[in-house]
Amino acid sequence: MSGKAIGISMNYGFPGTYARTPDDIVTSRQLKEGSADVPFGAALCANGDNTYSPVGADFTAAKFGGVALRVVKQATAYDDQTATAYHAKELVNAINRGSVVVTCNHGTPTAGGPVYVRIKANSGIPAGVVGGFEAAADSTNTVLLTNVQWTNGYVDANGVAEITILTRLNA
């Protein structure tokens, strides 16, 4: 997503960015060994062994660990300096309560409306990304997050919107 300075309205930011800071709770856990990369702004699964992992087909709302936050990371390899994701065994900063900017991949958010996480791909919804957030249910391919809502219903030209995590499920 490119930054823009001139236009009709401002973009809402980049996925994984704090939206409002006074009520945020952030925790860090290691990304489970062998896990696929988790991009900034993606949903996280909290595991019983005190790690996070990417969302997959076995994800439930009770396993919601938060949203991967965008942070400044130190480069560990020359060819990996622009990666916008967490890698296996890295510490992941996740917002567990508060407001965060994410990409809405499907549906139209409404203020206080339900937030879904995609757990399985669906060829009928090509923009749907496993681990991504959506404003419309897709049968058994999405999971409703009972403790999360769309903050204001506004979406910018890049599909970026704001969600609010009302309560912590997994400390």
Does a structural domain hold residue 1? no
Does a structural domain hold residue 4? no
Q: Where in the sequence is the domain holding 142, given as residue range(s)?
A: 18-165
φ/ψ (deg, to 5) at 65: -105, -5
Does a structural domain hold residue 87? yes
Kindly provide the b/e burial profile for residues 10-49, where b requires at least 16 CB atoms within 10 angstroms of the residue's own CB. Answer: ebbbbbbbebeeeebebbebbbbeebeebbbbbbbbbbee
Residue 18 has pLDDT above 80, yes or no: no
Does a structural domain hold residue 40? yes
Does a structural domain hold residue 13? no
Total number of domains in the chain: 1
Residue 90 has pLDDT above 70, yes or no: yes
φ/ψ (deg, to 5) at 80: -125, 30
For 111-146, how does the pLDDT look when each residue is reduced to its tens digit (9 = 90+)? 999 999 999 999 999 999 999 999 999 999 999 999
Which of these ranges, 17-31, 35-49, 70-84, has the smallest mean pLDDT? 70-84
Q: Coil, strand, or helix at residue 79? A: helix
Considering the entire predicted model, what is its pTM?
0.87
* Percent of residues, the chain, with pLDDT higher than 90: 71
pLDDT of residue 80: 59
Q: Cα angle vertex 58, ends 103, 150, to 5°?
A: 30
Cα-to-chain-centroid distance, residue 153: 16
Mean pLDDT of 138-166: 94
Are the C-beta atoms of 65 and 94 separated by less than 8 Å? yes
Does a structural domain hold residue 28? yes
For 38-64, how does the pLDDT look when each residue is reduced to its tens digit (9 = 90+)? 999 999 999 999 999 999 999 999 999
Please give the structure tokens belonging to residue 142: 């999405």
Does a structural domain hold residue 2? no
pLDDT of residue 155: 93
Question: The domain spanning residue 154 has which CATH number?
Answer: 2.40.300
Does a structural domain hold residue 160? yes
Residues 6+ apart with CB under 8 A from 103: 15, 41, 129, 132, 133, 158, 159, 160, 161
